[in-house]
Each structure stands twice: as structure tokens, then as C-alpha cells.
Amino acid sequence: MRKLRLFAVPLVLAPLAACAETTTGPGHAAGVTGGSTHCGQFDNVDVKAKEYVIQTNEWNATKTQCLSVNETAFAVSEASFSLPAAGPPASYPSIYKGCHWGNCTKGSGLPVQAATMPAVPSHWEVTPSPSGAYDIAYDLWFNKTPTTSGQPNGAELMIWLDHRGDVQPAGSQIATVTIAGAPWDVWKGSMSGWTYIAYVRQTPATSVDLDLRAFTQDAVTRGAVDPASYLIDIEAGFEIWQGGAGLATSAFSAVVGGA
């Protein structure tokens, strides 16, 4: 599940039962061959012995959305959303490590406290879509305590690699910062129960190697992340407002305490 965003008073969706519609066979989307196809509204797919989970996560729509999945590669093979760019997205198909609303991966190295976070190197390769309205973004969730079974109550930190179709983060732009050799526009806003901060890359990227700790440390200095809070979940995927088919991840990794 996800949160309603880009509203002054967002709503948080209650958990819904998984709606599985899964087939096995060749993938048909860019970057994915073999594997399986998943079209349920809230399907969860364990990959790499549940080191990661890939989720369909269609939290704000009921149209058909299908993902082709093969280990950490996944692609939106079917989607035709048509929501206004000024409102919340239809879905956030994504891969994650950690605990997403109580569903936890194995051996994640999380939770870790923001103040003592080790390096978190992450590699991500993506394929954008030439049409539609979407962002390609990490979503890091912080909680005031080490665990939660619902909406995290600390902060949400997004890292946008690319976006299309007049979408923008919540809140307003407050700064520009250079991290990992690239300039990022920093946006900050207040949600209903948590703080929101987003880093939007000025030059779109389809392949990145980032230390997620660097973004966390910057967010701490801006008062968006409490250093006493805990990082409990690292996600990477596509917030989709319109269209969606063709968006793909060909490789993803995040290692808490990695070099």
C-alpha cells in the first residue's frame, strides 16, 4: 500500500488483501526475459531468496497493471492509467529491502538509526517510457521506532532519477545540492503524520551508483529526518499517473553497510 500525496491533508490507505493473478512464462517488457507475470493489485514477489520483494502496489487505482519479474529485474508490461498529474499517483510498482507495512525481507541489515547509518551503496538501472506521466524514484521510509506494521511515522525521503508529464514532488523547492557528483533540487513538505523530502536530479539518469546515506545525512541537516529515527525500508520503482507500460528495472541492489 502507499500514501495519498500532493494533497494538503493526505489520506493513508488501509491494508487490502492481496489480489493474486500470477502466471509463469516469458516476460514481454523491456529488460525482462523469462520469469513470471503478476497482475494482482497488491502482489508481492520474493526474489533472491527474499533478499528483496517486488510489489505491484496499485494502491490508488483498479485498472489492470501487470509486471514481468525475473529476480531483481522487473518491468511494467501492461498499464494504461489516466489520473491527473496534480493528484496522487495510481501505483508505485517497486522493489524493496526492509519492511513494507509489516512485510519484511530477509537479512536486510535494517532497521538502522539515521544518526549512525553506515554506507548504503545502491546500484539501479532503469528504462524510462517515452509517454505517460510518472517518476522514477527511490522511496526511503523512516520510523520513530525500529518497527511498524503500518504507515511509518518518521519521514519519507524520495530520490527522483527522472520524471515526465508535469508531475512534481509534494511541498515546495527549498534548495539545490550536489550529491554523487550531480545537482539535485530539494523539495520539502509536511504530510499527515510524517515529513516528506525529495531530491530531484536535474539531469535524468538511467543508471546510478549512489550512497543512500549521503541523502539521509543531508535530510538530517535540513530537519526533515530525525537522527533518532530508524530507516526501515528502501524502495525503488515508478510512481505512475498516466500510461506506465514500458517502464523497467534491469538491475537493482542496495547493501546496508556495504563498501
- Active site residues per annotation: 156, 239
> Of 160, 143, 138, which Cα lies nearest the Cα of 231?
143
CB atoms within 10 A of CB 259: 6
CA dist., res. 221 & res. 211, Å (int): 17
Is residue 224 left, alpha or beta, with left meaning phi > 0 and alpha meaning psi from -120 to 50? alpha
For 233, phi then psi, to 5°, come to -155, 130
CA dist., res. 213 & res. 206, Å (int): 20
CA dist., res. 251 & res. 121, Å (int): 14
Dihedral (Cα; 52, 32, 68, 164), 10-degree rounding: 90
CA dist., res. 38 & res. 23, Å (int): 7
Residue with cell 520503482: 237
Q: Using CA of residue 201, residue 202, residue 204, residue 210, what is the dihedral sign?
A: negative
